[in-house]
Amino acid sequence: MYKSNDLILRTTTSIIVFILLGFSIYLLLAGHNSPGGGFIGGLITASAIMLLYISYGSETIEKILPINYRLLVPIGLLLALGTGIGSFFFSVPFLSHTYGYFHIPFFGELELATAMLFDTGVYITVLGVTLTIILSISKDQ
Amino acid sequence: MSNLAILPIIIPLLSGIILAFFPKKLTLVRLLSKLFIIGNLLVSGFVLYTVYTSGSIILETGAWPAPYGIIIVADSLSILLVFTTNIVAAACAFYAPHSLSDRKEQHYFYAFFFFLITGVSGAFLTGDIFNMFVFFEVLLMASYALIVLGGDKIQLRESIKYVLINLFSSILFVTAVAFLYATVGTVNMAQIAQRVQEVDQQGILTTIGILLFFVFATKAALFPLYYWMPNSYIEPNPVISALFGALLTKVGIYAIIRVFSLIFIYKIDMTHEIFIWIAGLSMIFGIIGALSTNNIKLIIAYNIIPAIGFIIMGIGIFNETAVSGSIYYLVHDMIIKTALFLIAGTVTYVAGTSDLRKFSGLIHYYPVLGWLLFLAAFVLAGIPPFSGFIGKLLLLTGALSESEIAIVIIALISSLLILYSIMKIFIKGFWGVKDASFQPKSTKGLIGPIAFLLALSVILGIGAEFFIPSIENISAYLLDPEIYIDSVLKE
């Protein structure tokens, strides 16, 4: 039986995927002060995972990434909504965000904002939605 | 605390998210959805009580002051509609497990149900026109999922039409908001109203007003933009039809009421005169549709159009009596249309067909269902002690005081024909000889929610003395946009 040899595709993918994943995390974290944010970060992570699916096939990837992407959607929504609801406990209007300066070992003085948590929620939701759409279309019944 | 105003939006959103985690565990999901919707009903009732005792609640989200941030305005009109929405939704949540198949329930029905409630409540409560667009999309997305739930061939065909027309009107909505933003430089409704007042509503603003009217009229299924509505509303399950019939078109109507009582009110002879004509034509064409068919679901769906016509007529006449008539009729119609769709669903279920020519004599097997339908017909047509009467009486009094005789005659004749179109179901389907070969099916759990809704609309009619003063307060409030602007912008 003919078996396609996609050595070049697989080798290049294993390098490029890490660059893409790193870049998507950078975009997620950089969103506050430069272009980027949860939406574009989620899309790029999804495209990295899609690249893995394309070059290695769905059985392999489902073995190494056993994630139910459909479940990521409510998790992300819950996180984003949770940052809004959190403001109830401090008697401030809904969706009020706050920030503070923290000293973290190795990174030093950092400004951490609760808007970051909201963005992470967006990131997870976008990742879940994109992969659910693509994978449910690709699996023909 | 001002965070109260957002609770009717957050609770259904949170419920939908929680129920999306375990869609297959049906017993748990059904129990939780009933608990959540009752909780939401109680909370919105409490917010309603707070608004009526101590005035509108304005929430500036994220602590940004009014014209800059998104604001949530729970005033007497919006919170009344949110409360009614929750009543309707509660009845549907109790009807749903008995009507839907397990397979449909497992495919995230309850999650989408709660997202629909989120969108509807959000559209009622928002004080920002772009935010209103977003909540329209939230409710439309949920409705796309619900209309196609099950995936029958006919559902797929009707959902294509439904999605296309709604997508088109959403595009038009964004365009209209863009024009409005380019003209007045803000999307906050109170500030738009203030600036339109300052520049004295020039021609371009009237154009934008008409454009927005077309958008909302498409969502609300007014003449001549109703052609997509009847067929796509009857194909999904009865619960989903009931939710659509009660909520989706009414959101469009609410948007018309809000925009044309707050923003575009300085060229009334131009805009509001059109509304009266459109109202009259909606009544005529809607009732022609309802009389033309023998499909009971279609009869009910076509009956939405004249009801929307009645409500728009009050906005067109635009005096205090007529506007209170509109508000009363809006609340009455949300409840009675849900009840009628649920009745039509139950009749279709027990008779096995929705074609009136194929069954008769149901009253021998289902006396309660028959008399509930009879009562619903009376309530809908406006027979005196019931709620449809009060709304129509106010509307007609308002119209007569502005000597709009033509619309009064059309309204009276169409009321008569509405009664005929519903009574036709009763006469043809329920009267007649007992069919001995008929196999009765159990209607366990289906009658309860219908009886609950009808009891409410009877109370709404009989207790009119009690409700009318607050309805009149709402209409006085709507006719004086300064109160809204001042309460939002705090000047």
Is the per-residue pLDDT at B254 higher than 80?
yes
Across the range B304-314, mean pLDDT stands at 92
Residue B42 vs residue B200, higher pLDDT: B42
Across the range B320-333, mean pLDDT stands at 92
Across the range B100-116, mean pLDDT stands at 91
Is the per-residue pLDDT at B138 higher than 90?
yes
Amino acid at A89: F
Across the range B154-163, mean pLDDT stands at 91
**Distance between A30 CA and the closest CA of chain B, angstroms:** 22
pLDDT of residue B491: 63
Question: Which of B1, B2, B3, B57 to mutate: most A Cβ within 10 Å?
Answer: B3
Residue B164, both tokens: 């296309």
In the three-class reduction of DSSP (H, G, I as helix; E, B as strand; rest coil), residue B74 is classed as strand
Residue (of B5, B17, B8, B485) closest to A93 by Cα position: B5
pLDDT of residue A58: 85
> Is there a contact between B26 and B102 (Cβ–Cβ < 8 Å)?
yes
CB contact under 8 A, A96 and B62: yes
Band (pLDDT 50/70/90 cuts) for residue B230 is confident
Interface of B with A (CB under 8 A): 1-3, 6, 10, 13-14, 17-18, 20-21, 59-63, 72
**Distance between A16 CA and the closest CA of chain B, angstroms:** 33
Residue A82, both tokens: 């949770």
pLDDT of residue B186: 92
Cα diameter, chain B: 73
CB contact under 8 A, B20 and A73: yes
Q: Which residue has the tokens 């769906």?
A: B301
pLDDT of residue A2: 66
List of long-range contacts for A2-6, beta carbons under 8 Å, 24+ apart:
A6/A55
| CA atoms of B2 and A106, how far apart (whole Å) | 42
> Looking at the partner chain, which of A81, A87, A93 has a beta carbon nearest the beta carbon of B13?
A81
B6-23 pLDDT tens trace: 999 999 999 999 999 998
Q: Cis ω on the peptide bond leading into residue B224 (within 30° of 0)?
A: yes
Residue contacts between A and B (CB atoms, under 8 Å): 42
| CA atoms of B220 and B209, how far apart (whole Å) | 16
The alpha carbon dihedral of B99, B105, B109, B111 has a sign of positive
CB contact under 8 A, A93 and B13: no
| CA atoms of B172 and B35, how far apart (whole Å) | 38
Band (pLDDT 50/70/90 cuts) for residue B256 is very high
pTM (global) more than 0.90? yes
Residue (of B140, B279, B165, B289) closest to B218 by Cα position: B165
CB contact under 8 A, B61 and A78: no
pLDDT of residue B19: 93
Interface of A with B (CB under 8 A): 71, 73-74, 77-78, 81, 84-85, 87-88, 91-97
Band (pLDDT 50/70/90 cuts) for residue A1 is low
ipTM: 0.91
Question: Which of B6, B59, B72 to mutate: most A Cβ within 10 Å?
Answer: B6
Query: Which chain B residues are within 8 Å of A97, Cβ to Cβ?
Result: 62
Query: Which chain A residues are within 8 Å of B68, Cβ to Cβ?
Result: none
> Looking at the partner chain, which of A74, A85, A93 has a beta carbon nearest the beta carbon of B60?
A93
**Helices and strands in chain B: count of H runs, count of E runs:** 21, 2
DSSP secondary structure code for residue B248 in this structure: I
A76-112 pLDDT tens trace: 999 999 988 888 888 888 888 888 788 878 777 778 8
Residue A131 vs residue A140, higher pLDDT: A131
> Is there a contact between B398 and B314 (Cβ–Cβ < 8 Å)?
yes
**Distance between A61 CA and the closest CA of chain B, angstroms:** 23
A13-68 pLDDT tens trace: 999 999 999 999 999 998 888 998 899 999 999 999 999 998 988 888 889 888 88
* Percentage of the residues of chain B whose pLDDT score is greater than 90: 60
Query: Which chain A residues are within 8 Å of B7, Cβ to Cβ?
Result: none
> Looking at the partner chain, which of A71, A92, A95 has a beta carbon nearest the beta carbon of B21?
A71
Band (pLDDT 50/70/90 cuts) for residue A141 is low
> Looking at the partner chain, which of B14, B21, B59 has a beta carbon nearest the beta carbon of A81?
B14
**Distance between A14 CA and the closest CA of chain B, angstroms:** 33
CB contact under 8 A, A92 and B6: no
Is the per-residue pLDDT at B80 higher than 90?
yes
| CA atoms of A136 and B132, how far apart (whole Å) | 31
B327-358 pLDDT tens trace: 999 999 999 999 999 999 999 988 888 888 88
Is the per-residue pLDDT at B250 higher than 70?
yes
